[in-house]
Amino acid sequence: DPRSVELWSDYLSVRLHPKSIYVIHQYMHDGDCGCLEAFGQGESLLQDPGCIEELEDRLHFYVEECDDLQGFQVLCDLHNGFSGVGAKVTELLCDEYSGKGILTWGLTPVMRDMGILTTSFCFAQDYQKNIYRLLNTALGIVHLSAHSSLFCPLSLSGSLGIR
């Protein structure tokens, strides 16, 4: 029933293990903080000791199930605050599992063409969003590549989603 769909995960036909999902409650659709739009916001989420402990517990749950752990794959948005989350996660993986490979995919969307802007407010708002995207992408690339064995940006756009 299309009316019962609220989130992207409602379309997911595969049931995921509860330990494989970590929900960031502040940034849910009805959360307190709104959008996770800046690298620093994402980075600060993983400064909370409770969050780090929970993440480590979930990670150790899966690592203990492995007979011969070879490494990790990290898929991370670059254009928003999740670049900061990904940077801290790859740093954690690099520190905890220094001998293991970390393959990181930095994902960026294809930006739609805005056409002719009619008001200066729209232009200023669009300009500010592009600045955020540029800074998030640059910081994400620098931090993710520093803590990864291999970093690969991935986009359907030739400009990494930056205009």
The 3-state secondary structure of 87-141 reads HHHHHHHHHHCCCCEEEEEEECCCCCCCCCCCCHHHHHHHHHHHHHHHHHHHHHH
d(CA 143, CA 64): 27
List the domain boundaries for the chain.
37-155
| pLDDT reported for residue 86 | 95
Tens of pLDDT along the chain (163 residues)? 566 777 767 777 788 888 888 877 776 655 555 578 889 999 998 888 888 899 999 999 999 999 999 999 999 999 999 999 999 999 999 999 999 999 999 998 877 654 444 445 555 667 788 888 889 999 999 999 999 999 999 888 776 655 5
d(Cα 40, Cα 42) in Å, to the nearest integer?
5
> What's the rounded Cα separation, in Å, for the pair 133 and 34?
17
What architecture is the 37-155 domain classified under in CATH?
Answer: 3-Layer(aba) Sandwich (3.40)
82's tokens: 């999740």
So what's the pLDDT on residue 116?
45
Q: Could you tell me if 81 and 36 are in contact, meaning their C-beta atoms sit under 8 angstroms apart?
A: yes
Q: Which secondary-structure segment (H or E) carries 58?
A: helix 49-63
Q: Give the distance from CA 69 to its chain's centroid.
A: 23
pLDDT value of position 67: 92
pLDDT at 58: 92
pTM (two decimals):
0.80
